[in-house]
A and B are shown apart, each in its own frame.
Chain A
Amino acid sequence: MTAVGLRVIAGGRAGIAPGPPGLLAELYEKYAPGVYARCRYLLTDEADAKDALQDVFVKALRALPEFREDASPSTWILRIATHHCLNLLRARRAAWREQLQALQKDRRHETEPPDRRELVRVLLATAPEEAQEVAVLYFVDELTQAEIGQATGRSLPTVRKRLREFLSCAREALREAMPGVLLPEGEDL
Protein backbone atom coordinates (compact mmCIF):
# COMPACT_ATOMS: atom_id res chain seq x y z
CA MET A 1 0.00 0.00 0.00
CA THR A 2 1.38 3.37 -0.82
CA ALA A 3 1.63 5.93 1.89
CA VAL A 4 -1.41 5.28 3.98
CA GLY A 5 -1.16 6.63 7.48
CA LEU A 6 -3.63 4.20 8.94
CA ARG A 7 -2.54 1.98 11.79
CA VAL A 8 -5.58 0.68 13.59
CA ILE A 9 -9.17 1.60 13.94
CA ALA A 10 -10.64 -0.40 16.73
CA GLY A 11 -13.87 -0.48 18.63
CA GLY A 12 -15.24 2.65 17.06
CA ARG A 13 -12.24 4.76 18.04
CA ALA A 14 -10.03 6.19 15.37
CA GLY A 15 -6.30 5.98 15.86
CA ILE A 16 -3.74 8.19 14.23
CA ALA A 17 -0.78 6.46 12.75
CA PRO A 18 2.65 7.94 12.39
CA GLY A 19 3.97 8.29 8.87
CA PRO A 20 2.64 10.08 5.85
CA PRO A 21 0.03 12.58 6.86
CA GLY A 22 -3.07 12.53 4.63
CA LEU A 23 -6.07 14.74 4.54
CA LEU A 24 -6.06 15.95 8.12
CA ALA A 25 -2.42 16.99 7.83
CA GLU A 26 -3.18 18.88 4.66
CA LEU A 27 -6.04 20.69 6.37
CA TYR A 28 -3.82 21.37 9.39
CA GLU A 29 -1.10 22.93 7.26
CA LYS A 30 -3.46 25.05 5.23
CA TYR A 31 -6.13 26.15 7.64
CA ALA A 32 -5.26 25.37 11.26
CA PRO A 33 -2.88 28.36 11.70
CA GLY A 34 -5.65 30.83 10.85
CA VAL A 35 -8.29 28.96 12.82
CA TYR A 36 -6.08 28.73 15.89
CA ALA A 37 -5.20 32.41 15.63
CA ARG A 38 -8.89 33.27 15.35
CA CYS A 39 -9.73 31.16 18.40
CA ARG A 40 -6.90 32.71 20.41
CA TYR A 41 -7.94 36.18 19.35
CA LEU A 42 -11.58 35.77 20.29
CA LEU A 43 -11.28 33.51 23.34
CA THR A 44 -7.99 34.98 24.68
CA ASP A 45 -7.16 31.73 26.43
CA GLU A 46 -4.67 29.19 25.06
CA ALA A 47 -6.37 26.08 26.45
CA ASP A 48 -9.81 27.21 25.28
CA ALA A 49 -8.38 28.04 21.87
CA LYS A 50 -6.80 24.59 21.50
CA ASP A 51 -10.10 22.97 22.39
CA ALA A 52 -12.01 25.22 20.02
CA LEU A 53 -9.52 24.49 17.23
CA GLN A 54 -10.32 20.78 17.48
CA ASP A 55 -14.06 21.47 17.63
CA VAL A 56 -13.88 23.59 14.49
CA PHE A 57 -12.07 20.84 12.58
CA VAL A 58 -14.57 18.25 13.78
CA LYS A 59 -17.28 20.46 12.28
CA ALA A 60 -15.28 20.91 9.10
CA LEU A 61 -14.70 17.18 8.72
CA ARG A 62 -18.37 16.49 9.24
CA ALA A 63 -19.15 18.92 6.44
CA LEU A 64 -16.16 17.95 4.32
CA PRO A 65 -17.75 18.10 0.82
CA GLU A 66 -19.24 21.53 1.55
CA PHE A 67 -15.92 22.74 2.96
CA ARG A 68 -13.75 21.44 0.11
CA GLU A 69 -16.09 22.64 -2.61
CA ASP A 70 -16.60 26.15 -1.23
CA ALA A 71 -15.25 28.90 -3.47
CA SER A 72 -13.19 30.10 -0.52
CA PRO A 73 -12.43 27.32 1.99
CA SER A 74 -10.38 29.80 4.05
CA THR A 75 -13.37 32.09 4.48
CA TRP A 76 -15.63 29.09 5.13
CA ILE A 77 -13.57 27.62 7.95
CA LEU A 78 -12.79 30.97 9.56
CA ARG A 79 -16.52 31.71 9.63
CA ILE A 80 -17.06 28.37 11.39
CA ALA A 81 -14.32 29.29 13.88
CA THR A 82 -15.76 32.74 14.45
CA HIS A 83 -19.27 31.37 15.01
CA HIS A 84 -17.98 28.73 17.39
CA CYS A 85 -16.02 31.21 19.48
CA LEU A 86 -18.75 33.83 19.54
CA ASN A 87 -21.17 31.16 20.75
CA LEU A 88 -18.76 30.19 23.52
CA LEU A 89 -18.38 33.81 24.53
CA ARG A 90 -22.13 34.32 24.62
CA ALA A 91 -22.53 31.23 26.75
CA ARG A 92 -19.99 32.61 29.17
CA ARG A 93 -21.56 36.05 29.18
CA ALA A 94 -18.21 37.67 28.54
CA ALA A 95 -17.63 40.64 30.79
CA TRP A 96 -17.00 43.25 28.10
CA ARG A 97 -17.33 46.19 30.49
CA GLU A 98 -14.43 44.99 32.59
CA GLN A 99 -12.39 44.24 29.49
CA LEU A 100 -13.08 47.70 28.11
CA GLN A 101 -11.96 49.26 31.38
CA ALA A 102 -8.79 47.17 31.26
CA LEU A 103 -8.07 48.43 27.72
CA GLN A 104 -8.61 51.97 28.93
CA LYS A 105 -6.15 51.43 31.80
CA ASP A 106 -3.56 50.12 29.31
CA ARG A 107 -3.46 53.50 27.61
CA ARG A 108 -0.68 55.59 29.04
CA HIS A 109 -2.39 58.85 28.09
CA GLU A 110 -5.66 60.01 26.57
CA THR A 111 -4.16 60.71 23.16
CA GLU A 112 -2.86 57.16 22.77
CA PRO A 113 -5.32 55.11 20.71
CA PRO A 114 -6.37 51.77 22.16
CA ASP A 115 -5.21 48.65 20.33
CA ARG A 116 -7.53 48.51 17.35
CA ARG A 117 -7.97 44.75 17.12
CA GLU A 118 -8.34 44.31 20.86
CA LEU A 119 -10.96 47.03 20.91
CA VAL A 120 -12.93 45.34 18.12
CA ARG A 121 -12.75 42.05 20.02
CA VAL A 122 -14.06 43.54 23.26
CA LEU A 123 -16.77 45.54 21.50
CA LEU A 124 -18.14 42.47 19.71
CA ALA A 125 -19.96 41.43 22.86
CA THR A 126 -21.93 44.68 22.86
CA ALA A 127 -23.57 43.93 19.52
CA PRO A 128 -26.30 41.53 18.37
CA GLU A 129 -25.26 38.10 17.09
CA GLU A 130 -25.42 38.76 13.35
CA ALA A 131 -23.68 42.10 13.69
CA GLN A 132 -20.83 40.40 15.56
CA GLU A 133 -20.09 38.06 12.68
CA VAL A 134 -20.26 40.82 10.07
CA ALA A 135 -17.95 42.97 12.21
CA VAL A 136 -15.34 40.20 12.36
CA LEU A 137 -15.55 39.64 8.61
CA TYR A 138 -15.12 43.37 7.97
CA PHE A 139 -12.69 44.58 10.64
CA VAL A 140 -10.62 41.44 11.17
CA ASP A 141 -10.76 39.49 7.92
CA GLU A 142 -11.01 42.74 5.96
CA LEU A 143 -13.58 41.47 3.50
CA THR A 144 -15.38 44.14 1.51
CA GLN A 145 -19.09 44.54 2.18
CA ALA A 146 -19.81 42.86 -1.16
CA GLU A 147 -17.57 39.93 -0.23
CA ILE A 148 -19.32 39.65 3.13
CA GLY A 149 -22.65 39.53 1.34
CA GLN A 150 -21.32 36.76 -0.87
CA ALA A 151 -19.85 34.77 2.03
CA THR A 152 -22.89 35.03 4.26
CA GLY A 153 -25.65 34.96 1.67
CA ARG A 154 -26.94 38.34 2.86
CA SER A 155 -27.79 41.33 0.70
CA LEU A 156 -25.51 44.35 0.61
CA PRO A 157 -28.05 46.57 2.43
CA THR A 158 -28.29 43.93 5.17
CA VAL A 159 -24.52 43.80 5.54
CA ARG A 160 -24.43 47.60 5.82
CA LYS A 161 -27.23 47.52 8.37
CA ARG A 162 -25.34 44.98 10.51
CA LEU A 163 -22.16 47.05 10.37
CA ARG A 164 -24.10 50.13 11.43
CA GLU A 165 -25.64 48.14 14.29
CA PHE A 166 -22.21 47.07 15.45
CA LEU A 167 -20.83 50.60 15.30
CA SER A 168 -23.87 51.99 17.09
CA CYS A 169 -23.54 49.48 19.95
CA ALA A 170 -19.77 50.01 20.07
CA ARG A 171 -20.17 53.79 20.19
CA GLU A 172 -22.63 53.50 23.04
CA ALA A 173 -20.23 51.28 24.98
CA LEU A 174 -17.28 53.60 24.37
CA ARG A 175 -19.18 56.72 25.40
CA GLU A 176 -18.75 55.83 29.03
CA ALA A 177 -15.48 53.92 29.08
CA MET A 178 -13.47 55.96 26.55
CA PRO A 179 -15.35 59.24 26.00
CA GLY A 180 -12.56 60.73 23.91
CA VAL A 181 -12.57 57.95 21.34
CA LEU A 182 -14.85 58.42 18.33
CA LEU A 183 -15.71 55.69 15.88
CA PRO A 184 -16.48 56.13 12.19
CA GLU A 185 -20.08 56.41 11.06
CA GLY A 186 -21.53 53.44 9.18
CA GLU A 187 -21.76 55.62 6.07
CA ASP A 188 -17.99 56.21 6.19
CA LEU A 189 -17.10 52.54 5.74
Chain B
Amino acid sequence: MNLDLGGPGPGCSAMRVRRLLAGELLGAEKERTEAHVASCARCAAVQRELAEEREALRREVPFDAFAAGVAEKLARQPRRSFTQRWAPLAAAAGLVLVAGTALVLRPTDDPGVRSKGGVSAQLFVQDARGVHALGNGPVAAGARLMIKLHPGAHKRARAVLVEPGEESVIYDGPAVNGTLPQAFEWTGSGPATLRIALDEEMVEIKLHR
Protein backbone atom coordinates (compact mmCIF):
# COMPACT_ATOMS: atom_id res chain seq x y z
CA MET B 1 0.00 0.00 0.00
CA ASN B 2 1.40 3.38 -1.03
CA LEU B 3 0.72 5.92 1.68
CA ASP B 4 0.50 9.63 1.02
CA LEU B 5 1.88 11.41 4.06
CA GLY B 6 0.40 14.71 2.94
CA GLY B 7 2.14 17.97 2.23
CA PRO B 8 1.10 21.08 0.34
CA GLY B 9 -1.39 20.76 -2.48
CA PRO B 10 -1.68 22.87 -5.61
CA GLY B 11 -2.45 26.30 -4.16
CA CYS B 12 -3.35 24.65 -0.87
CA SER B 13 -1.68 24.71 2.47
CA ALA B 14 -2.88 24.55 6.06
CA MET B 15 -0.46 27.33 6.91
CA ARG B 16 -1.78 29.57 4.14
CA VAL B 17 -5.33 29.18 5.46
CA ARG B 18 -4.03 29.87 8.97
CA ARG B 19 -2.23 33.01 7.78
CA LEU B 20 -5.31 34.18 5.89
CA LEU B 21 -7.47 33.90 9.01
CA ALA B 22 -4.79 35.64 11.11
CA GLY B 23 -4.86 38.60 8.71
CA GLU B 24 -1.28 38.06 7.60
CA LEU B 25 -1.91 37.90 3.86
CA LEU B 26 -2.15 41.12 1.90
CA GLY B 27 -2.95 42.31 -1.60
CA ALA B 28 -2.88 39.86 -4.46
CA GLU B 29 -1.82 36.94 -2.25
CA LYS B 30 -4.80 37.52 0.01
CA GLU B 31 -7.24 37.78 -2.91
CA ARG B 32 -5.80 34.70 -4.57
CA THR B 33 -5.99 32.67 -1.37
CA GLU B 34 -9.53 33.85 -0.56
CA ALA B 35 -10.69 32.87 -4.05
CA HIS B 36 -9.03 29.48 -3.74
CA VAL B 37 -10.31 28.74 -0.23
CA ALA B 38 -13.88 29.59 -1.24
CA SER B 39 -13.99 26.67 -3.67
CA CYS B 40 -11.58 24.16 -2.14
CA ALA B 41 -12.92 21.26 -0.08
CA ARG B 42 -9.53 20.58 1.44
CA CYS B 43 -9.14 24.19 2.61
CA ALA B 44 -12.71 24.12 3.95
CA ALA B 45 -11.68 21.13 6.06
CA VAL B 46 -8.65 23.07 7.30
CA GLN B 47 -10.94 25.97 8.27
CA ARG B 48 -13.13 23.60 10.26
CA GLU B 49 -10.05 22.19 11.93
CA LEU B 50 -8.85 25.67 12.89
CA ALA B 51 -12.27 26.47 14.34
CA GLU B 52 -12.04 23.29 16.41
CA GLU B 53 -8.56 24.31 17.58
CA ARG B 54 -10.03 27.59 18.83
CA GLU B 55 -12.84 25.84 20.66
CA ALA B 56 -10.43 23.35 22.25
CA LEU B 57 -8.21 26.17 23.48
CA ARG B 58 -11.09 28.13 25.03
CA ARG B 59 -12.44 25.00 26.65
CA GLU B 60 -9.15 23.63 27.99
CA VAL B 61 -7.01 26.74 28.48
CA PRO B 62 -9.18 29.80 29.21
CA PHE B 63 -7.41 33.12 28.79
CA ASP B 64 -7.16 33.95 32.50
CA ALA B 65 -5.42 30.67 33.31
CA PHE B 66 -3.16 31.03 30.30
CA ALA B 67 -2.21 34.64 31.13
CA ALA B 68 -1.57 33.85 34.79
CA GLY B 69 0.67 30.95 33.83
CA VAL B 70 2.65 33.03 31.34
CA ALA B 71 3.05 35.91 33.80
CA GLU B 72 4.22 33.54 36.51
CA LYS B 73 6.79 31.93 34.23
CA LEU B 74 8.05 35.32 33.11
CA ALA B 75 8.37 36.48 36.69
CA ARG B 76 10.00 33.24 37.81
CA GLN B 77 12.66 33.10 35.15
CA PRO B 78 15.93 34.90 35.82
CA ARG B 79 16.14 38.49 34.74
CA ARG B 80 17.84 39.12 31.48
CA SER B 81 19.42 42.20 30.04
CA PHE B 82 18.00 45.66 30.66
CA THR B 83 16.11 45.89 27.39
CA GLN B 84 15.03 42.26 27.27
CA ARG B 85 13.50 41.92 30.66
CA TRP B 86 10.90 44.62 30.96
CA ALA B 87 8.92 44.33 27.75
CA PRO B 88 7.64 40.79 28.23
CA LEU B 89 6.69 41.42 31.82
CA ALA B 90 4.68 44.45 30.85
CA ALA B 91 3.05 42.58 28.02
CA ALA B 92 2.15 39.65 30.21
CA ALA B 93 0.63 41.99 32.72
CA GLY B 94 -1.83 43.05 30.09
CA LEU B 95 -0.34 46.52 30.10
CA VAL B 96 0.21 47.06 26.47
CA LEU B 97 -2.62 48.39 24.43
CA VAL B 98 -1.39 49.98 21.27
CA ALA B 99 -3.59 52.79 20.04
CA GLY B 100 -4.13 53.20 16.34
CA THR B 101 -3.32 56.89 16.52
CA ALA B 102 0.03 58.45 17.29
CA LEU B 103 0.71 58.87 20.97
CA VAL B 104 2.24 62.15 21.99
CA LEU B 105 3.57 62.22 25.49
CA ARG B 106 5.40 65.13 26.95
CA PRO B 107 6.58 66.10 30.39
CA THR B 108 5.08 69.36 31.54
CA ASP B 109 8.40 71.18 31.67
CA ASP B 110 11.71 69.59 32.63
CA PRO B 111 12.26 66.31 30.88
CA GLY B 112 10.92 63.81 33.26
CA VAL B 113 12.87 64.48 36.41
CA ARG B 114 11.83 65.79 39.78
CA SER B 115 13.80 65.39 42.90
CA LYS B 116 13.32 66.07 46.52
CA GLY B 117 15.44 65.25 49.50
CA GLY B 118 18.32 63.89 47.40
CA VAL B 119 16.26 61.29 45.60
CA SER B 120 15.26 61.39 41.97
CA ALA B 121 13.40 59.53 39.28
CA GLN B 122 13.67 59.68 35.55
CA LEU B 123 11.50 58.37 32.79
CA PHE B 124 13.03 56.63 29.80
CA VAL B 125 11.37 55.81 26.51
CA GLN B 126 12.07 52.86 24.29
CA ASP B 127 10.95 53.31 20.71
CA ALA B 128 12.33 52.67 17.25
CA ARG B 129 15.23 55.02 18.03
CA GLY B 130 16.28 52.93 21.00
CA VAL B 131 16.23 53.84 24.68
CA HIS B 132 16.47 57.52 25.58
CA ALA B 133 15.41 59.89 28.34
CA LEU B 134 11.96 61.37 28.02
CA GLY B 135 12.33 64.68 26.19
CA ASN B 136 9.94 67.27 24.86
CA GLY B 137 9.32 65.58 21.53
CA PRO B 138 6.46 63.25 20.71
CA VAL B 139 6.61 59.63 21.73
CA ALA B 140 5.64 57.13 19.08
CA ALA B 141 2.66 54.84 19.60
CA GLY B 142 3.80 51.58 21.11
CA ALA B 143 6.81 53.09 22.86
CA ARG B 144 7.49 51.68 26.31
CA LEU B 145 8.22 53.81 29.31
CA MET B 146 10.68 52.83 32.00
CA ILE B 147 11.35 54.36 35.38
CA LYS B 148 14.87 54.85 36.63
CA LEU B 149 15.32 55.55 40.33
CA HIS B 150 18.01 56.98 42.53
CA PRO B 151 16.40 56.14 45.85
CA GLY B 152 19.18 57.25 48.16
CA ALA B 153 18.89 55.32 51.39
CA HIS B 154 15.23 54.48 50.87
CA LYS B 155 14.24 50.84 50.89
CA ARG B 156 10.86 50.74 49.24
CA ALA B 157 9.33 52.31 46.13
CA ARG B 158 5.80 52.57 44.85
CA ALA B 159 4.98 54.13 41.46
CA VAL B 160 1.44 55.18 40.72
CA LEU B 161 0.15 56.63 37.46
CA VAL B 162 -2.53 59.14 38.40
CA GLU B 163 -5.08 60.20 35.81
CA PRO B 164 -8.46 61.86 36.24
CA GLY B 165 -10.65 59.37 38.02
CA GLU B 166 -8.13 56.56 38.04
CA GLU B 167 -4.90 55.48 39.63
CA SER B 168 -2.79 52.57 38.44
CA VAL B 169 -0.01 51.05 40.47
CA ILE B 170 2.91 50.61 38.12
CA TYR B 171 5.38 49.28 40.64
CA ASP B 172 5.43 48.39 44.32
CA GLY B 173 8.58 46.79 45.58
CA PRO B 174 12.20 47.26 46.60
CA ALA B 175 13.65 50.68 45.83
CA VAL B 176 16.27 49.49 43.39
CA ASN B 177 18.97 51.90 42.38
CA GLY B 178 18.54 51.94 38.61
CA THR B 179 15.78 50.96 36.23
CA LEU B 180 12.72 49.28 37.67
CA PRO B 181 12.12 45.81 36.28
CA GLN B 182 8.77 46.62 34.70
CA ALA B 183 8.00 49.01 31.88
CA PHE B 184 4.60 50.36 30.94
CA GLU B 185 2.80 51.90 28.06
CA TRP B 186 0.54 54.87 28.60
CA THR B 187 -2.58 54.67 26.49
CA GLY B 188 -4.51 57.46 28.18
CA SER B 189 -5.17 61.03 27.12
CA GLY B 190 -5.03 64.40 28.84
CA PRO B 191 -2.89 65.07 31.88
CA ALA B 192 -1.36 62.40 34.07
CA THR B 193 1.12 62.33 36.89
CA LEU B 194 3.51 59.57 37.72
CA ARG B 195 3.93 59.60 41.50
CA ILE B 196 6.76 57.68 42.96
CA ALA B 197 6.81 57.23 46.70
CA LEU B 198 10.13 56.29 48.29
CA ASP B 199 9.31 55.28 51.83
CA GLU B 200 7.81 58.60 52.99
CA GLU B 201 9.18 60.84 50.26
CA MET B 202 7.39 61.59 47.01
CA VAL B 203 8.80 62.20 43.53
CA GLU B 204 6.46 63.32 40.78
CA ILE B 205 6.73 63.26 37.01
CA LYS B 206 3.96 65.09 35.20
CA LEU B 207 2.81 63.92 31.79
CA HIS B 208 0.33 65.09 29.25
CA ARG B 209 -0.58 64.47 25.66
Binding site for B on A (CB under 8 A): 1-17, 19-25, 28, 30-34, 36-37, 40, 46, 50-51, 53-55, 57-58, 61-62, 64, 72-75, 78, 110-111, 113-114, 116-117, 119-120, 138-144, 147, 180-184, 189
CB distance from B21 to the nearest CB of A (A): 9
Cβ–Cβ contact B2 & A184, under 8 A: yes
Beyond A74-B24, A189-B7, 11 extra complex contacts between A and B, CB < 8 Å: A5-B97, A8-B169, A12-B75, A20-B97, A32-B66, A34-B50, A37-B57, A50-B69, A51-B69, A53-B61, A116-B3
Cβ contact of B71, chosen from A14, A46, A180, cutoff 8 A: A14
Cβ–Cβ contact B170 & A1, under 8 A: no
B202 within 8 A of A: no
User: A28-B63, A32-B57 in contact; A114/B3 too (CB < 8 A)?
Assistant: yes
Cβ–Cβ contact A143 & B15, under 8 A: yes
Cβ–Cβ contact B88 & A16, under 8 A: no
Closest 3 CB pairs of A and B: A5-B94, A61-B88, A142-B13
Cβ–Cβ contact A4 & B97, under 8 A: yes
Please count the residue pairs between chain A and chain B whose beta carbons lie under 8 angstroms apart in the complex. Answer: 224
Cβ–Cβ contact A143 & B4, under 8 A: no
Cβ–Cβ contact B61 & A16, under 8 A: no
B79: nearest chain-A partner, CB-CB = A12
Docked complex Cα distance between A181 and B3 (Å) = 6
Cβ–Cβ contact A1 & B71, under 8 A: no
Cβ contact of B24, chosen from A4, A20, A73, A110, cutoff 8 A: A73
Q: Which of B154-194 contact A (CB under 8 A)?
A: 161, 163, 166, 168-174, 181-182, 184, 186-189, 192
* Residues from chain B with Cβ under 8 Å of A16 in the complex: 64, 67-68, 71, 92-94
- A to B CB contacts below 8 Å, 11 in the list: A1-B168, A2-B97, A6-B94, A6-B169, A8-B169, A8-B172, A16-B94, A33-B57, A74-B22, A114-B3, A183-B2
Docked complex Cα distance between A125 and B57 (Å) = 26
Docked complex Cα distance between A77 and B50 (Å) = 16
Count the B residues whose beta carbon is within 8 Å of the partner chain — how many?
Answer: 71
Docked complex Cα distance between A61 and B96 (Å) = 12
* Residues from chain B with Cβ under 8 Å of A64 in the complex: 87-88, 91
CB distance from A174 to the nearest CB of B (A): 9
* Residues from chain B with Cβ under 8 Å of A37 in the complex: 53, 56-57
Cβ contact of B6, chosen from A1, A11, A58, A116, cutoff 8 A: A116
B129 within 8 A of A: no
User: A1-B163, A14-B74, A22-B96 in contact; A6/B8 too (CB < 8 A)?
Assistant: no
